[in-house]
Every structure is written in C-alpha cells, then in structure tokens.
Amino acid sequence: MDAKPRLGISACLLGHKVRHDGGHKLDQFLLNTLGKYVEYLPICPEVECGMDVPREALRLVGDPENPRLVTSRTGVDFTALMKSWARKRVKALEDENLSGFIFKTRSPSSGMRSVKVYLDNGIPVSRGVGIFARVFMEHFPLLPVEDEGRLNDDGIRENFVERIFTLGRWRETISGRRSVGNLVAFHTSHKLLILSHNQRIYREMGRLVAAASQMPAGEAFAAYETALLSALGTMATVGSHCNVLQHAMGYFKEQLAGDEKAEMAGILEAYRAGNIPLIVPVTLLKHYVRKYECAYLKDQWYLDPHPIELQLRNHC
C-alpha cells in the first residue's frame, strides 16, 4: 500500500490549542504512533465555524435526540450556526477520500456518543451526540468512526485500525482503473479478512464479484464498497478468528505432520480460551505459509492487515 489512509480527527487530539480554554487534548498514541502510518485531516468545528479561542464553554441542552448547542453561562445559542457550517463541511469532505474519523469524547460539538445533554429541569443525561459528529455520521453512515476514549480498548482499537487500513487499500484500488480484474484482485486478497468480520456478507460479496462482469463498472464498485464497509462494521470476534484460522489450516491438510497439526490445534484452543493473543496462531500460520509456499494464503491481508509496529493482536 503506497498511500497512507486519510483520517479526519478532532484537532485538539493532535495538540492544536483550539479548546475553549486555549488548551488542547493531545493524545500521544494518535499523534506519535498511529500518526506515523496515517495522514490526518484535523478539524475543530467550533473554531472553523467562527468561534474564538479562548471562548465560553458550550453544552448541549433540551431534547437529547435533537439538542441545542448553547454557551454554558450566558446561554447564547450556536445551534443554527454549527449545523449550517457542518452541512457544508461534510459536503466538502466528500472530496477528501477519508477512511475514517476520530472524534473527541464528550464534546458537545465533536463527541460521537454519550455526550451530556442538560434537560429542561437542569439534570444532565449522557445520551447526546455532538452537533458536528451527528451531521458527519449521518452523511457518512458506513465510514469507520471512533473516539479516543474507546480507542483505549484493545479490541476496539484493533478493529478500527484494521478497518481504516482496509478502506485505505480500497481507496487506492478505486483511484486506479475500475476494472473487474482489479475488483477480483482486491476481493481475493481480502477474503479471509472479510470472513473474519461477517460470514453472511462475505458470501454476498462473493456472488457480487462473480456477477460484476455483467454489471456496469460504476454500479459494481459502488455495491462492493457498501458491502465491504458493512462487513467491516461487524467486530471480528475470537470465534470468527478461530473459524478463519481453521479454514486456513485446511490448505495444509496434506503437508502438515501429525505433531504440527496437534500443535496448531493446541494453540487455537489456548487462543479460544483467552490464554494467548491472536498474534500467536497467526504467526504459526504464517510460518506454514512460508514453509509450504501457499500462494493463496501468502497474499491474504488477514495475515498482515496493519503495520506490525502498532502492536495490535497482542492482547488476550
């Protein structure tokens, strides 16, 4: 993969001093670790829609499903300004080829879930969505999104990073010639990865790719992208990884000796029981792929879906 995936991100998470108090919320992992492998497009909705730094803090009030954005102390209403700016901004973002967005938790503008909304009686409930985040997610319903708080969870982080790198490779594929051959090549090398997320959509995608030569290219690619994003929207689980690994081991039925089969079965059981991380059975599988020169598996992105330096798949 030549191009880095492009990600939108709340600007304060990269250390930009755009918060209401003139500070930032720098996240070291996002800036210094993930940041080496992706290209960020920082966005601060409050500053971009015309507010000053520093400024009075904002909060959401009223109906949690359709809250207003007001200043905390003086009650100035910025809802209309923010919504109208956000609608134009997401339209412009269509040209940015984003592979995802990382939002700032709990922000009344940028928070993607569990943002405090103050009811009319003054009591806060954590059920809101920031005004910009809501407009963004409604405009790009299938794009991977997370916030920096949820990304502290190993499983959520691994899943999100896998999705953005897969989508980055897809963006690279569609930036070239939209031929059936390119579609088949992308799908073939992502089969195991897609299977680890959603078996039903994996089968549908197989039928779609088989029928692609009978469809207009634009239609086939659009349908494939929707299916790919929908499949990746399902979290891979320990069970689905075990299915994929067992399926992959089927390619070595003839070559593996009895003790090698037993070793892999033991390692898979230990992974299933939560005693070892996913990287262990995957590393053993890669060893057999090299040793027995299995061309089909060698090309599977499932074996190396993201840079190893990110140290994903290392948790139980």
Minimal distance in Å, beta carbon 123 to ligand SF4? 23
Structure tokens that stand for 168 in this block: 């980055």
Minimal distance in Å, beta carbon 105 to ligand SF4? 9
CB atoms inside a 10 Å sphere around CB 120:
8
Q: Taking CB under 6 A as the rule, does residue 148 contact ligand SF4?
A: no
Q: By rule CB under 6 A, what count of residues binds ligand SF4?
A: 12
Q: Taking CB under 6 A as the rule, does residue 158 contact ligand SF4?
A: no
Q: Are 171 and 5 contacting, i.e. CB atoms less than 8 angstroms apart?
A: yes
Q: Taking CB under 6 A as the rule, does residue 145 contact ligand SF4?
A: no
CA distance 100 to 312: 18
Minimal distance in Å, beta carbon 24 to ligand SF4? 8
Amino acid at 43: I
Q: Taking CB under 6 A as the rule, does residue 159 contact ligand SF4?
A: no
Minimal distance in Å, beta carbon 312 to ligand SF4? 26
Q: Are 193 and 248 contacting, i.e. CB atoms less than 8 angstroms apart?
A: no
Q: Are 242 and 300 contacting, i.e. CB atoms less than 8 angstroms apart?
A: no
CA distance 68 to 86: 14
CA distance 143 to 230: 9
Q: Taking CB under 6 A as the rule, does residue 69 contact ligand SF4?
A: no
Minimal distance in Å, beta carbon 18 to ligand SF4? 5
Q: Taking CB under 6 A as the rule, does residue 86 contact ligand SF4?
A: no
Site string for ligand SF4, 7-46 (x = CB under 6 A): ---xxx-----xx------------------------xxx
Q: Contacts with ligand SF4 in 95-114 (CB under 6 A)?
A: 104, 107, 109-110
| Integer angstrom CA distances of residue 251 from 8, 245, 254, 304 | 40, 10, 8, 18
109: Cβ contacts below 8 Å, ≥ 6 apart? 45, 46, 58, 69, 82, 130, 131, 132, 133
Minimal distance in Å, beta carbon 57 to ligand SF4? 9
Minimal distance in Å, beta carbon 76 to ligand SF4? 16
Q: Taking CB under 6 A as the rule, does residue 305 contact ligand SF4?
A: no
Structure tokens that stand for 288 in this block: 């057999």
CA distance 265 to 281: 9
Q: Which is nearer to ligand SF4, 87 or 291 (CB)?
A: 87
Question: Candidates 5-13, 195-203, 238-246, 248-256 — which segment interacts with ligand SF4 by CB under 6 A?
Answer: 5-13
- Give residues in contact with ligand SF4 (CB under 6 A): 10-12, 18-19, 44-46, 104, 107, 109-110
